[in-house]
Amino acid sequence: MKKQITLLLLSFLFVGMLSAQDRNCSTMDNLEYRKQLDPQLDARMQEIENQTRQYIIQNGTPKSISGNVITIPVVVHVVYRTSQENISDAQIQSQIDVLNEDFRRANADADNRWSQAVDTEIQFCLASIDPNGNPTTGITRKSTTRTSWGTNDAIKSASQGGVTAWDTSQYLNMWVGNIGSGILGYAQFPGGNASTDGVVMSPQYFGSSAKGSGFYLSAPFDLGRTTTHEVGHYLNLRHIWGDGNCNVDDFVADTPTSDAPNYGCNPTHVSCSSTDMVQNYMDYSDDGCMNLFTAGQKARMRAVLNAGGVRRSLALSDKCSATPPPPPTCDDGIQNGDETGVDCGGSSCAPCQSGCSENEVTLTITFDNYPEETSWSLVTDGGTTVASNGYSAGNPDGSTVTETLCLPDDCYTFVINDAYGDGICCSYGNGSYTLTGPDGVIKSGGSFGSSETTDFCLGSTPPPPPTCDDGIQNGDETGVDCGGSSCAPCQTGGTTVLHEGYFETGLDGWQDGGSDCFRYNGSRSFEGAYSIRLRDNSGTASAMTSETFDLRGFDQVEFDFYFYPNSMETGEDFWIRYFDGSSWTTVATYASGSSFTNGNFYNATVTLNSSQVNFASNAQFRVQCDASANQDQVYIDQVTITGIVGNTRTKADGVQLLRTGPPSAANGDTLITPTITRGDITVNLASFNLKSSYRVLNLLGQTVKEGTMKDGRLNVSELKTGVYLLEVQDEEETIIQKFVKQ
């Protein structure tokens, strides 16, 4: 009998252990899943992080109320299998109420334990206008036969039985459906694909039992804080322990360092030599324990919503208006969608009859996979911007927009930009654009770097030809008489800088040749942090190619650059090539052993003369590596191209040794600190992506530890005492360095 009682007690304890649940947020798991599908996600998130840091440097982390309250429209997609999962409108409204209380610090459980607690001045409303301009409750419902959705974004796809997002640049999309596996919710950080942008919650954790009865909710996560937590991720907040140990940060200065999530509610818990902020919404504590965001967290969230932030369009959205806007008309002066002067008051759009009394110019853009990187502007010769536009992640990948402009007679400069520096064709989608005027196509393309510029004139009377004494700089040339069929230099002399490439913000007009060319970040750059790395001998894939230049009218052109060679065997070389309008010619060769030695910085200058080569209107330059295919590299930086009139040389041709070794990296790019350790080591990952794979090998070449580097920190405390090799690798190269584990 005693044994039976003992077994019965154990059974009750076991059932109790199974029924107890810890908070389980799968935002980081979803992030890793999306990175596998999107190779550029890391880079975009790093750009957002850089912008966030700059915003905080400029604006600080003020606790005071500024009065600039941002209202975010919300649409809730309920995807249900059972009647319980089909949660009521009242339960949904209770969640919106909790969000507003938590983000505005109007929650009844707010206390003064943490002085850095603030009102974020962010609030939420159920959208009252749908994407078609019709009234809406801000709630959609869909029945499903699926028992669970997982964390691979299937619930966001109509083709998989879920619901397709509303325009994510205008609405915060929330999907409520059973995720399964005990997962409460997950969110998408800023920078991800527009079609999956938003947050997902299981229905029994969406809403608050404190605001009504009969709700389908499960304690201790029944007060709406799961959604508060996930919306924090959506607005760029990390878990307060940074998903690591004491050496990992959440990028917020006023949240104490923590070594792991906190469960339940123990506000006095200490880790990393300080008290954990257990009451923070971004911990894993129970709903009844959470009650604050900090000033630093407010600054991060506001950075993505304020001017320049990736979620700025969401902050400006008008989808919470009490009534939808009136339908567009011909005389409202508003550009309606992609058409100007369209009366859409009826069941279909009909063109207005006013027409364009001047010059009608049409710009058609087909996006690549990242519409939010595309923008354009149109500027008169006098410097006045007459039209411009930028696009958001809400534009579907591969979709097409048409902009119609009515322009007076004048000369214009059209510039199309790509923020990432890879154009709109063809690495990530087949985007293109066409600019059409009254006389036909003015310019079309899509394969460019950071930008492409086109000059054109409209009107029957062309402007008078430039002359030497008109005081006007003509294009890239000063004092050029273009009255004839070709340009001839005036005899005043002088130099004109045609191009400067520093690569700090992009490719600066250069085209990435392919797999053996990429924009590098690290100590092998001569100035700043970035340069262009070329390697091996895969033809134009090992090359960087410039934009086009009109070199007519110059006597000489000077090509000046800085470079750093690495691992180039004797005789292996790279070239400077020139396109004269019809063919490419090698105009300079630099070889290891004769022109340079590895591990040093050099400056080189090449001067071309009009008497020796043809200075064409569409001239180009190319830097191309011709080493063997075994990780031979040359890093190109600070490229300057100068046009010279009157044989005025600015620098002598040749190669000049500048300094030996990259700054602070005499032993290579990866520096281990310390090299003798009992636990943690820090690795300088400046030359790698945000995350790089690593392996730890013993001296027999056996792998004893491997994974993905996070923030340059690695714990090796579990290794036995001995000497090891750390191998750090990204998609471009591998670096190995020795360390000792005590």
Pairing of strands 703-708, 633-645: unpaired
Alpha-helical (H) ranges within 214-306 are 225-234, 295-305
Query: Tokens 């008309």 belong to which residue?
Result: 329
Paired with 440 in beta bridges are 437
Name the residue among 23, 33, 49, 32 with its Cα closest to residue 236. Answer: 49
Q: Is the dihedral of CA 77, 71, 317, 369 positive or negative?
A: negative
Burial of 215 from C-beta contacts in 10 A (0-12 / 13-18 / 19+): buried
How far is Cα 43 from Cα 66, in angstroms, rounded to an integer?
Answer: 32
- Out of 230, 452, 477, 572, pick the active-site residue: 230
Phi, psi of 472 (to 5 degrees): -110, 135
230 belongs to the catalytic site: yes
- Provide the pairing of β-strand 172-176 with 70-80: parallel
Tokens (6 digits) for 417: 């930009």
- Tokens 């880079």 belong to residue: 43
Q: Are 723 and 704 spatial neighbours (Cβ–Cβ below 8 Å)?
A: no
Residue 698, judged by CB atoms within 10 A of its CB (0-12, 13-18, 19+), counts as: middle
- Backbone CA torsion sign across 43, 416, 623, 476: negative
Residue 444, token pair as written in the block: 């079309």
Which two structure tokens, joined as six digits, stand for 330? 């011909």
Residue 722 burial (C-beta neighbours within 10 Å; 0-12, 13-18, 19+): exposed
Tokens (6 digits) for 688: 């790698």
Other CB atoms within 10 A of residue 57 CB: 8
DSSP letter for 667, please. Answer: T
295 closest CA partner among 28, 101, 105, 71: 105
Determine the Cα–Cα distance for residues 94 and 86; give it in Å rounded to an integer: 15
**SS3 category, 521:** strand
Coil/strand/helix, residue 740: strand
Residues 578 and 555: their CA atoms lie apart, in Å, by 16
Beta-strand relationship, 633-645 and 584-591: unpaired
Task: Give every CB contact of residue 40 below 8 A, 6+ residues apart in sequence.
Answer: 370, 420, 428
C-alpha distances out from residue 561 to 493, 567, 652, Å: 24, 20, 13
- The DSSP element (H or E) to which 172 belongs, if any, is strand 172-176
Whether residue 76 contacts residue 138, with contact meaning beta carbons closer than 8 Å, is answered with: yes
Say if CB 235 and CB 298 are below 8 A apart.
no
Cis before 220? omega within 30: yes
**Over the Cα atoms of the chain, what is R_g?**
30
Q: What is the DSSP letter of 544?
A: E
The 3-state secondary structure of 681-730 reads: EEECCCCCCCCCEEEEEECCCCEEEEEECECCEEECCCCCCEEEEEEEEC
Other beta carbons within 10 angstroms of residue 348's beta carbon come to 5
Residues with a catalytic annotation lie at: 230
